[in-house]
Amino acid sequence: MIADAEVPATSQVQALELVLSPERAVQVASEAIRPTRCEWRGCPAELNSWIALQKHLHHHCQQLEASSSQAPFHCQCERCAVRLHDSLSSLLQHITFSHMSRVPLPCPVEGCSEAFTYKQAPTAIPAHLRTDHRFGGSFPTRLPPLRQSRTPKKPPRRALPPLPHDPIPLYTLLLPPVREKHRRAGSTASQTARRGRWKRMSSRAAPPSEASDTDEPESLPFADLDPQASTSYYSEPQNECLEWVAYKAPPEPALQISRPQPMIIPPVREKPPAPSIGYVAFAEKFAQLELAGIIDGTGQWPQDDSERDVEVDARDAKTPGKDKGKGKDKMDTDSPDRAAGPSRARQGGEGG
């Protein structure tokens, strides 16, 4: 008999040393990835392994129980000879022994095309591994890589490192390391030549001195602080930092002055005028005046005839063309009287 052992879930390991029992070999075969279609009526799902199909069909049965809690329960798998069952447990056993027994279990070895029924798997799979893949005996032997499994690979458990015996200073855990500042690079030859050219172009420029303002000051690197001194400082109990409190900076308000105000959806409706101001009565009276012809729709209040004549005379006085026309008309009206004047006088003399 072969001892039992854990089986990794990946199939990409070459020359893998495994120790399998017959029960474990069947379990590995049921979890090996092999697409299988669900036979439940109206279900288009395609499962990746034998064990996934079994759990999927059991889930269909539980949904059937939730929808109709009263017996009998109807099996909706294709090619089913016994569809009515008096309980959920009877339906689950029917699914396992009647329908899942027809789904073949593949050989767990990668590249092997052999498949076995559910009833033959406990004895046929171990015998197949011994004869065809030369896997057997009381000692572990090398097995070809297995099929990829549906279960993810378990991470290896590693022992935690032992705790240090000496106390660790708090500043070594909380203070970030200080990076060394690089020296500033000096000016290049092209920059120096360009600076001298601008000096020569200026006719009023003073003669260059030894220390000119245009020259870049040389960087003065300082020596690093003594790490031993800082270590000894923080190692003293009175200088040790016991607590660090960090606060998150509040977000700065975004000033968007040019942004338009947010639109209100739906828009605010205008309130109708209050009845106390008499708007309804005024509107009815205005409509009556329009129907009577007193108001012509220009928005002006009707006036008396005398006021209208005064306005017409004032408008005519502003237009000189109309005044000349009026004077000419007046002369024309007076001319017949003037023409008739001598004749009338002559007639009067004759009569005398």
Domain assignments of the chain as residue spans, ordered by start? 16-143, 305-351
The answer to whether the peptide bond before residue 250 is cis (omega within 30 degrees of 0) is no
| Residue 33 phi, psi dihedral angles, 5° rounding | -75, 120
User: What was the pLDDT predicted at 197?
Assistant: 57
Hey, CA dihedral for 286, 292, 297, 302, is it positive or negative?
Answer: negative
Burial category of 107 from C-beta neighbours within 10 Å (exposed 0-12, middle 13-18, buried 19 and up): buried
User: What was the pLDDT predicted at 105?
Assistant: 87
Q: Alpha-carbon distance 16 to 146, whole Å?
A: 9
User: What was the pLDDT predicted at 346?
Assistant: 44
Determine the 3-state secondary structure of 141 from DSSP.
Answer: strand
In this prediction, the residues of the chain whose per-residue pLDDT falls under 50 are 1-18, 137-140, 203-205, 211, 322-325, 327-330, 332-333, 335-352
Q: How far is CA 15 from CA 9, 114, 212, in A?
A: 15, 21, 77
Pairing of strands 141-143, 115-116: unpaired
Q: Alpha-carbon distance 330 to 341, whole Å?
A: 17
Pairing of strands 84-85, 105-106: unpaired
Q: Alpha-carbon distance 61 to 191, whole Å?
A: 84
The answer to whether the peptide bond before residue 72 is cis (omega within 30 degrees of 0) is yes
User: What was the pLDDT predicted at 342?
Assistant: 47
User: What was the pLDDT predicted at 143?
Assistant: 58
Structure tokens at 323: 């005044």
Q: Is the whole model's pTM more than 0.85, yes or no?
A: no
User: What was the pLDDT predicted at 2?
Assistant: 37
User: What was the pLDDT predicted at 139?
Assistant: 38
Hey, CA dihedral for 306, 310, 313, 319, is it positive or negative?
Answer: negative
Whether residue 47 contacts residue 35, with contact meaning beta carbons closer than 8 Å, is answered with yes
User: What was the pLDDT predicted at 252?
Assistant: 67
* List of residues 6+ apart from 48 with CB closer than 8 A: 33, 34, 35, 36, 150
